[in-house]
Amino acid sequence: MFGGRTNTAWKGECGSEAFVAKLYSGPARNPLFPNDPDAERRLLLALADGGNTPVFRAQLQTESGVCNLYDHIPGEIWRDGVTDVARLMADLHAHPCPEGLRTVPDGSDALLKQGQEILSKSSDSPTLEALKPLGHVPASNLRRLLHSDIVPGNLIRNTSGLFLIDWQCPATGDPCEDIAVFLSPAMQFLYRGAPLTEEQIAAFFDAYGHPETATRYRALTPFFHWRMATYCHWQTDNGRTDYGAALTLELEALQRSLNSNPT
């Protein structure tokens, strides 16, 4: 199967039922998106009654690594319809959190620290250093269930609705984390070829339905864009040439956010 950027997956059949076998590549070198097969197993089991995630079947230890088996969800990768994503995300954030999940960085200081850690693994970037946001947004101390990688490639639409797949890096914390990854110009460009428009972003928040979260996200926007820019820079350093254009888009969004969020 194609689409994943970290692990390898195959579609198989057992009788009349189709399933996915995802072979994990091992602990992620990725500084932003972890890769944990046990976390995926726990989350799929915890969300089994929701109907918007694959049904987990088994976990196998193979000579090549850990392999999770779950039901295949037919359909197309999401390309439009931000209101459906917003409602799916709001439902997820209202779900009880299973135990044992990691916690995402919370607040501007933690986001800057994570971005700086990503930069430490990359070549020098005077542009990123110069655009590092100032100011302070305190931690929310929220504990919401997060997918933490809600990009178009992990959203599948069919006649039954919208489904969220690839749960290898779930977490708890500030719901702005999921929102920032989905709205990221870089991630939208890499998976569907173009960033979301301002009108689409406004429609997303209208459908999400939590004005206080929208307000907090806007305050954190420069910090999220800066962190994502450091990640794109790291990817280009590691030979992922498609992240070059993604980095440019994220830097442009960062500059706009700095202009609209003066310190």
Q: What is the pLDDT of residues 226-246, one digit of tens each?
A: 999 999 999 999 999 999 999
* Cα 206 from chain centroid (whole Å): 20
Q: Does 158 have pLDDT greater than 60?
A: yes
Domains of the chain, by residue range, sit at: 8-71, 76-260
Who contacts 256 (Cβ-Cβ below 8 Å, separation ≥6)?
A: none
Task: Give the span between the Cα atoms of 20 and 49, in whole angstroms.
Answer: 19
Is the separation of the CB atoms in 23 and 62 below 8 Å? yes
**Among 219, 220, 223, which Cα is nearest to 131's?**
223
Find where tokens 């929310």 sit.
Answer: 140
DSSP string covering 188-229: HHHHHSSPPPHHHHHHHHHHH--HHHHHHHHHHHHHHHHHHH
Position 1 confidence tier, pLDDT thresholds 50, 70, 90: confident
The matching CATH number, chosen from 3.40.50.2300, 2.60.40.10, 3.40.50.970, 3.90.1200.10, for 76-260 is: 3.90.1200.10
Position 262 confidence tier, pLDDT thresholds 50, 70, 90: low
Instruction: Give the helix, strand, coil percentages of the chain, each rounded to 5.
Output: 45, 15, 40
Task: Give the span between the Cα atoms of 93 and 147, in whole angstroms.
Answer: 9
Q: Global pTM?
A: 0.96
Identify the CATH class of 8-71. Answer: alpha beta
Q: Does 261 have pLDDT greater than 90?
A: no
Is the separation of the CB atoms in 109 and 133 below 8 Å? no
Comparing 140-144, 216-220, 258-262, the range with the smallest average pLDDT is 258-262
